[in-house]
Amino acid sequence: MPKATYMYWQKRFNRENPDKDIEEKMLEIRKNNSNYGYRRMLGELRNQGYRINKKKVQRLMQKLHLQVTSFTRKSRKYSSYKGNVGTVAPNRIKRRFNTNIPHQKITTDTTEFKYYEVDAQGHMTMHKLYLDPFMDLFNREILSYAIGQNPSRKNVMNAWTRPLK
């Protein structure tokens, strides 16, 4: 081992921890708020008057084993389900999707499409469109459809009234 490396580490071992105050404050914050990740921890430290970089907060949280494991991306899959809202219609089709009579069974579904637009400055912006088609199960023909910028009841009803006219 080179002498310079040995002397460097010997000086470091005798040195006091410069982040001791911050580490104690982080442990105190963690005791009160167990779900704080590095972003919230950084905000709380800055609110209490500490001038600190986010990378240092991340490094100290790893050192003290304060990472939050309850909110990983895999454990929080997006779901728009809000429970039973309104009345639930009875299931009259019961998975019998074939029929010999036209206009006896008509189905619909809302589908989201994403698309990107590039403006004059070259910035890409994402947009969404929602398609509401009505399909006759007799011959799988699309009777009508509506396209809107949000998934709304009005959009579905516009598509529904078109084939009835």
Is the whole model's pTM more than 0.85, yes or no? no
pLDDT at 48: 93
Tens of pLDDT along the chain (165 residues) come to 899 999 888 888 878 888 999 999 999 999 998 889 999 999 999 999 999 999 999 999 999 999 887 766 665 566 677 777 788 888 888 999 999 999 899 998 899 999 888 888 888 888 999 999 999 999 999 999 999 998 888 999 989 887 655
Alpha helices in the chain (DSSP H): 3-14, 20-32, 38-47, 54-63, 153-164
The HSE-up count of residue 98 (CA atoms within 13 Å, CB side) is: 0
Backbone Cα Rg of the chain:
30
CA of 13: how far to CAs of 3, 4, 17, 19, 128, in Å? 16, 15, 10, 15, 58
Residue 77 confidence (pLDDT)? 63
Whose CA is closest to 28, among 36, 70, 55? 36
